[in-house]
């Protein structure tokens, strides 16, 4: 994963749902930081209706500060997520995609949900790791690997935060 994608993940965690939206100046500073990190002089910023969209080379970031329930465009159909999920970050790049979401399911119920739904969609669970109150759950399907990082979140309200990274084998297009 590109170094600047980690910056997006940190931004998503800091932005979260139900927080005041970033202003145009903050979005422009983010665009400048991404341009500096990637060296892409054609990094483009769009801000509209609570969404920040930045495109840099073949990477795309959409940060939806409204915590939309609308499934991100480009998210593969075999990615099954809770019906109450609210999405606030979607990135696409040459090696994969990243999705940040919140759900009202407690972490243990989200894990149960994923373990029941994903194998039915053709995914095979390959690993689970728990460190204190954070879980990592990995699935594979063909040339794709999907890794969830799941943790409880208490601000602004009790919820579960999940970060999903969908990675394809080098040389394969992102799902």
- Selected residue with higher pLDDT from 19 and 169: 169
Q: What angle do CA 97, 174, 79 make, to 5 degrees?
A: 60
Domain boundaries, the chain: 3-168
Q: What angle do CA 151, 101, 144 make, to 5 degrees?
A: 90
pLDDT at 173 exceeding the cut of 50? no
Per mean pLDDT, which of 10-14, 56-60, 144-148, 165-169 is the most reliable? 144-148
Picking from 59, 6, 58, 7, the residue whose alpha carbon sits closest to that of residue 30 is 7
In the DSSP assignment, the letter for residue 43 is -
Question: Hey, what are 169's tokens?
Answer: 């084998």
**Helix/strand/coil for 14:** helix
Task: Specify the pLDDT at position 127.
Answer: 95
Tens of pLDDT, residues 132-169: 889 999 999 999 999 999 998 776 667 898 999 999 76
Question: Hey, what are 171's tokens?
Answer: 């040389």
The torsion angles phi and psi of 16, rounded to 5 degrees, stand at 55, 170
pLDDT at 175 exceeding the cut of 50? no
| This prediction's pTM | 0.70
Task: Specify the pLDDT at position 66.
Answer: 63
Q: What angle do CA 52, 55, 43 make, to 5 degrees?
A: 105
Name the average pLDDT for the chain: 78
Q: What is the largest CA-CA distance in the chain?
A: 45
Picking from 30, 27, 28, 47, the residue whose alpha carbon sits closest to that of residue 38 is 30
Tens of pLDDT, residues 64-82: 666 778 888 888 889 999 9
Task: Specify the pLDDT at position 16.
Answer: 45
- Selected residue with higher pLDDT from 22 and 28: 28
Q: Is 89 left (phi over 0), alpha (psi -120 to 50) or beta?
A: beta
pLDDT at 170 exceeding the cut of 80? no
pLDDT at 8 exceeding the cut of 50? no
What number of CA atoms fall less than 13 Å from residue 44's CA on the CB side? 7
């Amino acid at each position: 994963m590109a170094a600047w994608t980690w910056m997006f993940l940190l931004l998503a965690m800091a932005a979260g749902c139900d927080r005041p939206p970033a202003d145009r100046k903050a979005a422009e500073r983010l665009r400048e930081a991404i341009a500096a990190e990637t060296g892409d002089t054609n990094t483009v910023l769009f801000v509209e209706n609570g969404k920040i969209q930045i495109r840099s080379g073949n990477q795309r970031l959409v940060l939806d500060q409204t915590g939309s329930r609308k499934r991100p465009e480009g998210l593969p159909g075999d990615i099954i997520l809770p019906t109450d999920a609210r999405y606030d970050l979607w990135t696409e790049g040459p090696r994969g995609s990243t999705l940040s979401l919140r759900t009202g399911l407690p972490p243990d119920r989200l894990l149960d949900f994923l373990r029941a739904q994903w194998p039915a969609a053709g995914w095979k669970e390959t690993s689970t790791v728990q460190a204190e109150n954070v879980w990592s759950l990995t699935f594979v399907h063909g040339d794709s690997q999907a890794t969830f990082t799941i943790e409880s979140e208490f601000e602004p309200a009790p919820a579960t935060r999940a970060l999903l990274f969908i990675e394809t084998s080098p040389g394969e297009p992102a799902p």
